[in-house]
Structure 1
Amino acid sequence: MSQSGESVQGNFWEQVGGRPTFERLVRSFYEGIKSDPVLLPMYPAEDLEGAIQRLTGFLEQYWGGPGTYSEERGHPRLRQRHMPFKVNPDARDRWLLHMRAALDELKLSPLHDATMWAYLDRAAHAMVNTFDE
């Protein structure tokens, strides 16, 4: 630990490579979304780049990067922001499929990969708001 109490190795965001790593993750994730007939309609076709930037900002803030997401958009309120969409188990599983593929492309250390995946899996399960087909 440093004198200020931080890990001398930095926080998770720094350890995995900062913003470039999260941008790669999210852009790869959206490549999968672009071909998914269930998930694509949930994203703003006219502002896919905006969605990419918002998810990148949210994830990097969550993992210890800059707080730009909250400065620009306020509290994340993930469940509330996803309520207008039908997030059923199929949508959740598709989201996880694309996110797993994107995470695999990063080739993080096993510990970093497992840590990030555990959060993404929990978050995806928490977004389910219906069991209707």
Structure 2
Amino acid sequence: MDSLRGKTIYEALGGPEGIRSLVEAFYPKVQQEPLLGPLFPEDITPVIEKQYLFLSQFFGGPPLYSEQYGHPMMRARHMPFPVTVERAEAWLGCMSRALAETVSDPELRAAVLERLKGPAYHFINS
């Protein structure tokens, strides 16, 4: 893909600042999404921070999440929550809108969404 040109997604997104911008654009959308909002705590700050750590690592940056919390084991961590196909798609929709706000390169937006589809659908448990 031309927009990555040997870079990790983490680097292409702008490193820590780019990941932070994406996560901060994403979570207000999640909170407003009727299928997702009720699954999250009112104080979403800790969730935002964990997502920042995880996406940094997931997209090829430093292993921030693992350093703080151990192996991500994201499917297991999501098991207490009813994750349906509809919720996975709503989550991806929120991410798509956040990417549209924070990433100008359409190829990079597509690569990020493609990379996130695997986990989003892997977490389905209901």
- Normalization by structure 1: what TM-score? 0.83
Name the SS for the 2:61 alignment partner: coil
Change (3 A) 1:12 1:36: closer
Moved beyond 4 Å, runs of 4+: none
Are positions 1:84 and 2:80 aligned together? Answer: yes
Q: Give the Cα separation in 2 of the matches to 1:126 and 1:57.
A: 20
Contact residue 9 and residue 15 of structure 1 kept, 8 A: no
Name the SS for the 2:32 alignment partner: coil
Contact residue 89 and residue 128 of structure 1 kept, 8 A: yes
Q: How large is the RMSD of aligned CA atoms in angstroms?
A: 1.9
Q: Give the Cα separation in 2 of the matches to 1:10 and 1:101.
A: 23
The equivalent residue for 1:32 is 29
Match 1:109 to one of 86, 105, 109: 105
Q: Give the Cα separation in 2 of the matches to 1:108 and 1:57.
A: 23
Deviation at 1:10, TM superposition (A): 4.3
Deviation at 1:38, TM superposition (A): 2.3
Q: Give the Cα separation in 2 of the matches to 1:75 and 1:44.
A: 23
Match 1:19 to one of 16, 39, 49: 16
Change (3 A) 1:12 1:33: closer
Residue type at the aligned position of 1:28: A
Match 2:59 to one of 49, 58, 63: 63
Q: Any idea what the Cα deviations from partners look like across 1:69-111, whole Å, max 9, x if unmatched?
A: 1011111111100000000112112111111100111234233
The equivalent residue for 1:4 is none
Are positions 1:42 and 2:49 aligned together? Answer: no
Q: Give the Cα separation in 2 of the matches to 1:12 and 1:121.
A: 15
- Normalization by structure 2: what TM-score? 0.87
Contact residue 84 and residue 125 of structure 2 kept, 8 A: yes
Q: Give the Cα separation in 2 of the matches to 1:75 and 1:94.
A: 26
Name the SS for the 1:76 alignment partner: coil
In structure 1, list runs of 5 or more residues that go unmatched. Answer: 1-7
